[in-house]
Chains A and B, each alone.
Chain A
Amino acid sequence: MKLLVCIKQVPDMESRFKPNGSGTWFDEADLAWRMNEYDEYAVEEAVRLREQLGESAELTVLSIGPDRVVEAIKKALAMGADRAVHIQDPAVADKDPWQIASIIVAHAREQQYDLIFTGMQSQDRGSAQVGVLVAEQLGLSCATTLVGFSYENGIVTAKRELEGGIKGVARLRLPALVTCQLGLNVPRYPTLPNIMKAKKKEIAALPVDGLLAEPAVAVTTSFHPPAKKGGGVVLEGEVGVLVDKVIGILKEKTAILR
């Protein structure tokens, strides 16, 4: 059985984001990069299934981007993926979800994966489109927002997270694609021996040029901070002084402190 997990490398969300030269995305200078959080759950679930199936399964991890994304790929390999595909694209940030999906599809169509895992969305772009677009273009059965996953005899049982704490349960026949929500599992930390073992695993590098034939369908015209809504007071300074100020404000504005 052939398994694929698609991951994205994103900046740490605690970063301060500034527009880049074209004003349509963030400036990448001084950012720390990590694996998209949703994708960590996808990798963990894929590795668990790989372990359940044993040697009859092979798990490939795929990422698109410049050379820096190899770091995220290595983490997935250290978590337990067998091999990797790095689709080299220095301009990945300029691609829309339609194009990203098309690149994955061009690779996956040849490889005939039985089951594909993705995060439900990226933390930076947050479109929640790529996984579903890949499934639709490949004609795969698809369920999104998984907080529960099990697999037996060619059938995936997917527990989807709905609003208000309700879950929806669905069964999917393979080939299929699932998108993973936070809390689906507890992603493992790679151990040192597994990090060492991962160094020997294959990372196939493919230039994006051979895989992308689609033009963009959506165009970003501006990247900017949200308009500040007035009203809120911002306090900064030494902790002791802040505490006194906050207690003063709470006494004045709420009935909780007298």
Chain B
Amino acid sequence: MKSLLIGEYREGRLLDTTYELIGFAGQLGAESAMLLVGSDSQLPAFNGTIYLADAGVCGEYNPDLHKQLILEVVGKLNPDCIVFMHTSYGWDLAPRVAAALKCAQISEIVAITDNGFEVGCCNAKMRRTVRSATGRTVLTIQAGAFPVAGREGTPCVEQLTTAVTSTLEFVGYEPAEAKDVDLAKADVIVTAGRGVGKKENVPVIQALAKALGGELGASRPVVDAGWVDHSHQVGTTGQTVSPKLYIACGVSGAIQHLAGMKKSDFIVAINKDKDAPIGEVADLLVVADVMQFVPALTAKLQ
């Protein structure tokens, strides 16, 4: 089994998730090579060949060109699988490669099993086992699902160049908005999820946060709906937190949310859906209606 791992750079820096790709290939028992559009000043520790294209020339987001580079290396190596992280880079690029190679893609893998790859579905509440019906397969793996490889080894580097005309022009990055709430410093975070029902109910969650001397957090749907400001958002596209106590009120537990809070010391989830994925990380799951339970808890604490 041979794999080609597609590492990731952003603004000149190698992303740490690259080591998860190496960890995944280790579990798969695959002999691997890596392709990076990056720079030789920041190479990962890796025992194998790295095919390196210069991001200064190729651009960090230039999917037509990155696809072409991958196809060239696939032609040389003939790998069984091509592996991406399931990130904004990976889920954008992987199907382009699968389309060009006319092969299966299996998205957001969380585990390797004897019968195939395990992936999440139905908002992470359920799992599917999927196997490829083509000789070659494109894989994307969920961030945090596989162990990070030890930072060992010295790669053998082969430089790549290519030129492709593209109908897409990358303009640049926009920085994240300034945070006026620093959730990372809070000992207690009480988060409002979609289960609070409506904007008018958010003060009820805020009151519990206040009673515990903590801050208000918010899940993505609540921020998208305009109930709570983005500066309170917990998760991959918001803030990553690890307070002493995290109380998730009506949060279903999308993977992007879990990634932002699962390292909290003690997690309480209040949800009327006993099967909600938040239950996977909660130390304590209270099966109740948020709008009944939270005011009662706040009253008792005051």
Give the interface of A toward B (CB within 8 A).
11, 13-14, 16-17, 24, 26, 96-98, 120-121, 123-129, 132-133, 136-137, 141-145, 157, 159-173, 176, 182-183, 186, 215-226, 228-229, 231-236, 239-240, 242-244, 246-247, 249-250, 253-257
Chain A residues, CB < 8 A from B252 = 13-14
The answer to whether B287 touches A217, judged by C-beta atoms less than 8 angstroms apart, is: no
Chain A residues, CB < 8 A from B163 = none
The answer to whether B170 touches A170, judged by C-beta atoms less than 8 angstroms apart, is: yes
A98 to B133, CA, bound (A): 12
A163 to B288, CA, bound (A): 33
The answer to whether A219 touches B131, judged by C-beta atoms less than 8 angstroms apart, is: yes
Q: How far is the CB of A154 from chain B (nearest CB, A)?
A: 11
Give the interface of B toward A (CB within 8 A).
10, 61, 63, 86-89, 91-92, 94-96, 98-100, 102-108, 115-116, 119-134, 166-177, 187-188, 212-213, 220-221, 223-224, 226, 236-238, 244-245, 252, 265-266, 268, 273-275, 277, 279-280, 282-288, 292-293, 296-297, 300-301
Q: Quick one: given A136-B100, A218-B132, are A16 and B121 in contact (CB under 8 Å)?
A: no
Identify the interface centre among B92, B100, B296: most chain A CB within 10 Å of its CB. Answer: B92
The answer to whether A256 touches B273, judged by C-beta atoms less than 8 angstroms apart, is: no
The answer to whether B167 touches A141, judged by C-beta atoms less than 8 angstroms apart, is: yes
The answer to whether A129 touches B107, judged by C-beta atoms less than 8 angstroms apart, is: yes
Chain A residues, CB < 8 A from B296 = 239-240, 243
Task: Considering the complex, give the chain A residue whose CB is closest to the CB of B225.
Answer: A186
Q: Quick one: given A218-B133, A254-B266, are A26 and B126 in contact (CB under 8 Å)?
A: yes
A13 to B271, CA, bound (A): 14
Q: Quick one: given A165-B177, A166-B175, A255-B244, are A242 and B286 in contact (CB under 8 Å)?
A: yes
The answer to whether A143 touches B168, judged by C-beta atoms less than 8 angstroms apart, is: yes
The answer to whether B287 touches A236, judged by C-beta atoms less than 8 angstroms apart, is: yes
A121 to B289, CA, bound (A): 29
Chain A residues, CB < 8 A from B121 = 124-126, 223
The answer to whether A225 touches B275, judged by C-beta atoms less than 8 angstroms apart, is: yes
The answer to whether A246 touches B286, judged by C-beta atoms less than 8 angstroms apart, is: yes
Chain A residues, CB < 8 A from B275 = 16, 225
The answer to whether A162 touches B297, judged by C-beta atoms less than 8 angstroms apart, is: no
- From B92, B174, B265, A166 is in contact (CB under 8 Å) with B174
Task: Considering the complex, give the chain B residue whose CB is closest to the CB of A183.
Answer: B224
The answer to whether B125 touches A225, judged by C-beta atoms less than 8 angstroms apart, is: yes
Chain A residues, CB < 8 A from B277 = 226
The answer to whether A163 touches B87, judged by C-beta atoms less than 8 angstroms apart, is: yes
Task: Considering the complex, give the chain B residue whose CB is closest to the CB of A136.
Answer: B99
Chain A residues, CB < 8 A from B131 = 218-219, 221
The answer to whether B172 touches A220, judged by C-beta atoms less than 8 angstroms apart, is: no
Chain B residues, CB < 8 A from A236 = 274, 287-288
A136 to B67, CA, bound (A): 11
The answer to whether B134 touches A142, judged by C-beta atoms less than 8 angstroms apart, is: no
Q: List 27 A-B contacts (CB under 8 A).
A: A13-B125, A96-B104, A97-B95, A124-B122, A128-B91, A133-B95, A141-B168, A166-B10, A166-B173, A168-B170, A170-B169, A170-B170, A171-B168, A217-B132, A218-B130, A219-B133, A220-B129, A221-B131, A225-B125, A226-B280, A232-B282, A232-B285, A235-B284, A246-B284, A247-B297, A250-B268, A253-B283
A167 to B237, CA, bound (A): 10
The answer to whether B95 touches A221, judged by C-beta atoms less than 8 angstroms apart, is: no
The answer to whether B172 touches A126, judged by C-beta atoms less than 8 angstroms apart, is: no
Task: Considering the complex, give the chain B residue whose CB is closest to the CB of A128.
Answer: B91
The answer to whether A183 touches B220, judged by C-beta atoms less than 8 angstroms apart, is: yes
